[in-house]
Structure 1
Amino acid sequence: MDNYYAIVGAERNDPADVIKKKITNELRQWQKRTNSSDLSKRQEAEQKVALLTKAREILLDDARRKGYDIQLDAFLAAGGGAQAPVTASSGSGDWLQQARDHLAVGDYNSAAYCGREARNTLGASAEVWSILARANAGLGNLSEALYEAQQAASLDVANPDRQLELGGVYEELEQWDRALSCYEQVNRLTGGSEEADLGIAGSLANQGRYAQAIPVLEKLHLHGSNKRMAAYYLADVLLAYAETIPVAKQEDGYYITTAEEIAQTRAVLNRVKTLSDDEQIMLRVIDQEQYLATMETKQLYGVTGWKVTKTVILWAVIAFVIAGILSNAGTGGFFLGVLLGGGVAWLRIHLQIRNHYLPRWRINAMIVRGRL
């Protein structure tokens, strides 16, 4: 049984939004490798993408996640999940090829063993260090993977694949600036790489630099070989960017305080809807659209029942004063005074309420400015 939490690098008690971010980052890393010219890398990436896609389907669906958690607990209690034994053939002599074969099917433990044997018999070449880095990254031994990827890159400085591998390890470690430098170096070496561009966009987005990431993804969407993948990540980054449009921030989110912010956010959401029909993307669009609708809904604010009562009492008194003055003209004058005073009172209350019946975004603006 596959442990999807381990596959995406999440904890069992992580909330859905944390798991979603981890899956998105992992998918982006592995999807960009599915076009690799290296067969073992391509096969490894295809297997990882399939596992991550399945993990997303299960872990981001509350009902399916609960059922899966019950099954996983039973599996682990029965002794499942132990590390698979090493499978290697010492008679073949080609430790590197064995390591590649193990990497292709996700057997990182055996790949690491064969990689170490290759280092012992063939020496510490760039390719051997690369194999070890991939194996240890798969096992989650990121400090070892980083050292090995650095060794591979230093021995083969003109090889863009080594920089891509090193950038991938930096991403796993969430060292986004260093990952960005590696991917930029790939583009300098190659004159332009879709895999590097996707890494650049991801590194920028994970630093909150959405305005810089979006043009990179727009280019991939227009000219890249995998437009569907680029469209998904562009939609994801645009949704994150939409939440930065409001200027007024608070500890757990933001305030929309102008009609222009609503218009700008809605334009971004409309763009997202043209890019992807992914269920999770659409749910986020719906959530933000509902929030915008709430911001446009008018609410009575700043008028209490006591304020209205005081107005009624005041104008009732005024009405009777006017009625008393006009009573000298007879009963008709008295009723005319009551009617006149009552009409003015109703108009005053109506204006008081109308002036405080505001769209939610305007109320937010008044709160931010400290007027209420």
Structure 2
Amino acid sequence: MADEWVNYYEILQIAQAADVPAIRAAVSKERRTWIKRQASADPARRAEAELRVQQIDRAEQALLDAASRSAFDERLARQRSQPQAESTAGEGDWLERARAYMAMGNPGAAHRAAREATNLRGSDHEAWALRAQASFLTAQFPDAEFEFAESIRLEPENYDYHHDLGEVYSEQTKWAQAMREFDIALRLSPNNPVTRTAVAQIHLATEDAPKALVVMESVVSGNPDNEYFKYYLAAALEGVARQSLTLLRDGAIVATSEAQVQRLEQHADRIAALRLSDPDAAEAVRDLRRMAGASREMRWEHSNVGGWITGLVILMCIGCGGLNSDGGTGTAMALLCALPLMAGLVYLYVHLHRKPAWQHADAIFRSTNLIVRKGI
């Protein structure tokens, strides 16, 4: 198409009134989505993904700077006020128009054009797939299910179609169906890192972080510079650290052992070592380190034992005075002899009552027989 105008709000799938945190979140989400697609074996899909990543980068620069955003909004208003040309598309170019709309970041228009293409050529698997991609990007997941199913019916051995249908099922938390499609995709493209990462995402969503970590360790070892894969390795590391903690009946998740605290620290260090630019990763590092620090914080826990020890010390002082009625010097000597025992009693009290927070949490757990989250 001649008009190369790109609506950055549509690229990020956000409203024009979105605030800065919403823009940052959308940039992170869309960037992960399209970086993943850059690993496609299909040159056309790979080129589309590379273009979209560039557009997301430009959208980030334009919308996070107040002056640039104001200028873009003015241009957007002018663009919307211009009369739209009548469509003259014929049978042969609806699919190309759909691709152009997708490149412009307008999946709604892409879907309408692709629908025209499938109406004219119902046996064109590419038209059905493009229509499905547009439905997916606009969160019309039931439509995307049907449209990808049609593209698969027409082209059953296409890796991308099975993977994308798996993504559609994942968005709807239909984990079994998603796994089925990902298994087929991996049969067609063995060890494909994108699909293996999608499988790891299901493990994370179903609270099986150890399996996700095994998958992502392998994926990242073969693709050490890929930001997308490293992001989900970080997510798996965080998931394993959190799932190893103890779940109390009141819903609190706490460390109750030194091993759990060490895991929080070690996994925070590993995530930091990945040097990810995504703010979610930095937040995960801060959270894990904060939890570890809070778990190591020394706390007092008082009990009636303190009163008994105080009373015993007083009795010892009185006894020392009574046994040495010959004068102050004898009393002082007796007290001096009793000091080691007094010091030992004070040490015992401190030892029993001043502990790291994780030990206090462990004592609470053991005394109240609360629920334990499975250790890892």
Structure-2 change in CA distance of 1:101 and 1:361 (3 Å): same
Q: Does 1:235 align with 2:234?
A: yes
From the superposition, tell whether residues 24 and 253 of structure 1 become closer, same or farther in structure 2 (CA, over 3 Å): farther
Matches for 1:1-372 after TM superposition, within 5 Å: 2-3=8-9, 7=13, 26-38=30-42, 40-50=44-54, 88-91=87-90, 93-224=92-223, 227-249=226-248, 252-278=251-277, 280=279, 281-303=281-303, 308=306, 311-327=309-325, 329-337=326-334, 344-345=341-342, 347-370=344-367
Q: Residues of 2 paired with 1:107 and 1:255: CA distance?
A: 46
**1:219 aligned partner, one-letter code:** S
8 Å CA contact 1:33, 1:41 repeated in 2: yes
State how far apart, in whole Å, the 1-side matches of 2:243 and 2:106 are: 42
Q: For residues 294-338 of structure 1, give each alpha carbon's deviation from its aligned partner in whole angstroms, at most 9, with x where no partner exists.
A: 32232222347xx645643443244224312321x3443344455
Task: Flag the 1:274–1:343 CA change in 2: closer, same or farther, 3 A.
Answer: closer
Structure 1 length normalisation: TM-score?
A: 0.77
Determine if contact 1:103/1:135 at 8 Å carries over to the other structure.
yes
1:260-286 CA-partner distances (Å, limit 9, x unpaired): 222233332333233224362234213
Contact kept in structure 2, 1:303 and 1:353, CA below 8 Å: no
Deviation at 1:249, TM superposition (A): 4.5
3-state secondary structure, aligned to 1:35: coil
2:91/2:120 contact within 8 Å kept: no
Distance in 2, matches of 1:127 and 1:364, equals 58
How far apart, CA to CA, are the structure 2 residues paired with 1:177 and 1:23? 29
In structure 1, distance between residues paired with 2:242 and 2:335: 55
Change (3 A) 1:81 1:290: farther
Bigger mean CA offset, 38-47 vs 129-138: 38-47
Q: 2:265 aligns to what SS in structure 1? A: helix
CA distance in 2, matches of 1:166, 1:344: 74
Query: 1:290, CA displacement in angstroms?
Result: 3.1
3-state secondary structure, aligned to 2:299: strand
CA distance in 2, matches of 1:86, 1:36: 35
Q: Read off the aligned partner of 1:208 and give its amino acid letter.
A: E
TM norm structure 2: 0.77
Choose between structure 1 and 2 for higher RCO, CA contacts under 8 A separated by at least 6 residues: 2
Cα offsets for 1:135-164 (capped at 9, x unmatched): 222233222122111222223212222212
SS for the counterpart of 1:96 is helix
Letter paired with 1:34: Q
Contact 2:94/2:113 (8 A) holds in 1: yes
Shift of 1:257: 1.0
- The SS at the match of 1:93 is coil
Percent of residue pairs identical = 22
Gaps of 5+ in 2: 1-6, 370-376
Cα distance per residue 1:138-196 (max 9 Å; x no partner): 23322212211122222321222221221222233232332222121011123332332
C-alpha distance in 2, partners of 1:108/1:133? 10
Letter of the structure 1 residue corresponding to residue 13 of structure 2: I
2:255 counterpart letter in structure 1: I
Cα distance change of structure 1 residues 199 and 341 upon mapping to structure 2, 3 Å threshold: closer
Residues 86 and 365 of structure 1, relative CA distance in 2, 3 Å threshold = farther
Q: How many residues align?
A: 354
